[in-house]
């Protein structure tokens, strides 16, 4: 009788142990009670659009037309678990963005005037948990490749340099995006591609010491759910890790900011600094001071005192400017034409100008071969449903077309880049590039018969 009574108790304990193991926390997992952000602001935005449209129809003189625009600011590493153990109040940042940058009105290049639509911006600040932060750090650590040395600041030391191909770490950021907004990449048909999806700005603050690729002692997998220790003053001063890392998207220019193939942009405050652009102007250039660095905010110039808690307002100002610039140039940029006619057939010419006869650029197998079919496939992903894409190409040798050679020569421009070498001397490099606007004007202004 006693053995019969003990059997249900054993089964109950076994069930409890199984359920406990199944409920083990994992990153990017939506368990009951797991802290997550449910994306539901689109329902409120849609109702706002309906009310604004109804008001516009009754008061036709109202210009501009108010259109809500949702912007999601995702904070990674700002819960006291990232670089410098920095703690940023997400709600205060959201209130600051709402009060400082409430609207945005794009302009039209064709007319030079603001368009008749003004965006009323709806901000959502979303702090990311420690498991997702550690998972991203582990992904970046594996993707780092040594690339020589670089200067840590404008007049700083030469330290080790690592580079990350952004396309290799983009799937992990896309996984975080899908986790936050319940938007799976590639699961919608062509007819559903025009549906509204969330736009997000990922602002990251990684612990460079923890993700140092030369550090094999730190096990990031164990830190995912462990308690992260508070840093001492000496550890805070060494948070840069004696190295620099930066991103390259598809082998492009080095940067600490990159735009994904989806609907989010990444701003990494721990990466860089990166420099690019002209010497004598700040417009269009990237300098050591282009993006805020926590080191410069916490340790002010000429001071070794640690002042983390008193820097929240200053950092919020910098982040607000970054988010506003991202909205202005990426999320809701200026438009080229005021009125765009929706066509059923899209003709795209690909004109190739080459200065040699060694091989044909349209043939595969060469270093600089152009994949026309690949271009056509990518264009088809961007057009609306029902639009037909017709892509045709042609190759022209410059030594056989004098007018084409003159047009290319007129469009050649030089870009100066300043750099301080190891010897401490200031060097200026000139990079030659082709100005597309000038080339287009030269091509249309002469009889080429293309």
pLDDT score at 54: 59
Check whether 156 has a pLDDT greater than 90.
no
**At CA 130, angle to CA 127 and CA 131, rounded to 5?**
120
Reported as a single tens digit per residue, the pLDDT across 167-206 is 999 999 999 999 998 876 555 555 555 667 899 999 999 9
pLDDT of residue 265: 96
**Looking at 308, 331, 354, which one is the last position of a domain?**
331
Is it true that the peptide bond before 64 is cis, omega within 30 degrees of 0? yes
Please indicate, yes or no, if residue 141 is contained in any of the structural domains.
Answer: yes
The domain total for the chain is: 2
Dump pLDDT digits (tens) for 297-349. 888 765 555 566 678 889 999 999 999 999 999 999 999 888 777 788 888 88
According to the model, what pLDDT value does residue 184 have?
67
Q: How far apart, in whole angstroms, are the C-alpha atoms of residue 44 and residue 288? A: 40
Residue-level pLDDT at 20: 42
Domain-embedded: residue 381: yes
319-333 CB burial, b ≥16 within 10 A, e <16: bbebbbebbeeebbe
With a pLDDT cut of 70, the percent of the chain lying above it is: 76
Nearest to residue 262, comparing CAs of 198, 203, 214, 346? Answer: 198
325 and 371 housed in the same domain:
no
Residue 112 pLDDT class (50, 70, 90 cuts):
confident
Q: Is there a contact between 417 and 375 (Cβ–Cβ < 8 Å)?
A: no
Confidence band for 50, pLDDT divided at 50, 70 and 90:
low
- What gap in Å lies between CA 415 and CA 428, rounded to an integer? 10
The predicted pLDDT at position 41 comes to 46
Residue 74: the pLDDT is 96
Beta bridge partners of 417: 429
> Which among 232, 175, 238 is positioned nearest to 210, based on CA atoms?
238
Name the pTM for this structure: 0.74
Phi, psi of 95 (to 5 degrees): -65, -40
pLDDT at 391 over 70: yes
Q: What is the pLDDT of residue 420?
A: 63
Residues 120, 257 share a domain = yes
Q: Which of 27, 123, 74 is nearest to 265 (CA)?
A: 74
The verdict on 92 and 140 lying in the same domain is: yes
Mean pLDDT, to the nearest integer, of 6-16? 38
Asked whether residue 23 is domain-assigned, the answer is no
340 in a structural domain: no
- Determine the pLDDT at residue 31: 57
pLDDT in tens, 274-300: 887 665 555 667 777 888 999 888 887
* Residue 222 located in a structural domain: yes
Domain range for 394 is 345-444
């Amino acid at each position: 009788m006693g053995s019969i009574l003990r059997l249900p108790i054993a089964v109950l304990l076994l069930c409890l142990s199984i359920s406990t193991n199944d409920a083990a926390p994992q990153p990017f997992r939506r368990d009951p009670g797991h802290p997550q952000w449910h994306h539901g602001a689109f329902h409120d935005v849609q109702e706002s659009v309906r009310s604004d449209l109804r008001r516009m129809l009754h008061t036709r003189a109202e210009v501009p037309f108010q259109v809500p625009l949702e912007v999601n600011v995702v904070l990674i590493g700002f819960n006291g678990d990232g670089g410098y153990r920095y703690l940023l109040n997400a709600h205060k940042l959201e209130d600051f963005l709402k009060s400082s940058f409430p609207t945005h009105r794009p302009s039209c290049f064709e007319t030079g005037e603001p368009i008749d639509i003004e965006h009323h911006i709806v901000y959502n600040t979303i702090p990311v948990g420690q498991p997702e932060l550690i998972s991203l750090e582990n992904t970046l650590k594996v993707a780092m490749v040594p690339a020589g040395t670089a200067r840590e600041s404008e007049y700083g030391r030469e330290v080790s340099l690592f580079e990350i191909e952004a396309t290799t770490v983009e799937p992990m950021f896309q996984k975080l995006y899908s986790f936050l907004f319940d938007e799976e990449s590639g699961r919608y048909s062509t007819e559903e591609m025009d549906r509204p999806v969330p736009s997000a700005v990922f602002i990251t603050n990684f612990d460079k010491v923890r993700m140092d690729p030369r550090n094999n002692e730190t096990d990031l997998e164990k830190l995912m759910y462990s308690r992260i220790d508070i840093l001492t003053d000496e550890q805070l001063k060494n948070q840069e890790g004696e190295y620099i890392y930066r991103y390259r998207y598809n082998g492009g220019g080095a940067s600490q900011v990159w735009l994904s193939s989806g609907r989010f942009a990444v701003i990494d405050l721990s990466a860089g600094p990166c420099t690019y652009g002209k010497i004598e102007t700040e417009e269009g250039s990237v300098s050591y001071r282009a993006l805020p660095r926590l080191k410069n905010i916490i340790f002010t110039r000429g001071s070794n005192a640690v002042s983390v808690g008193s820097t929240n307002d200053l950092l919020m100002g910098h982040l607000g400017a970054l988010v506003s610039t991202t909205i202005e140039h990426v999320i809701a940029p200026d438009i080229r034409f005021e009125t765009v006619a929706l066509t059923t057939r899209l003709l795209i010419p690909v004109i190739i100008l080459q200065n040699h006869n060694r091989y044909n650029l349209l043939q595969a197998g060469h270093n600089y071969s152009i994949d026309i079919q690949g271009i056509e496939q990518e264009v088809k992903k961007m057009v609306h449903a029902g639009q037909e894409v017709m892509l045709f190409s042609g190759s022209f040798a410059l030594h056989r077309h004098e007018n084409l050679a003159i047009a290319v020569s007129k469009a050649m421009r030089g870009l100066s880049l300043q750099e301080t070498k190891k010897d401490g001397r200031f060097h200026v490099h000139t990079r030659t590039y082709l100005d597309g606007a000038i080339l287009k004007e030269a091509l249309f202004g002469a009889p080429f018969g293309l």
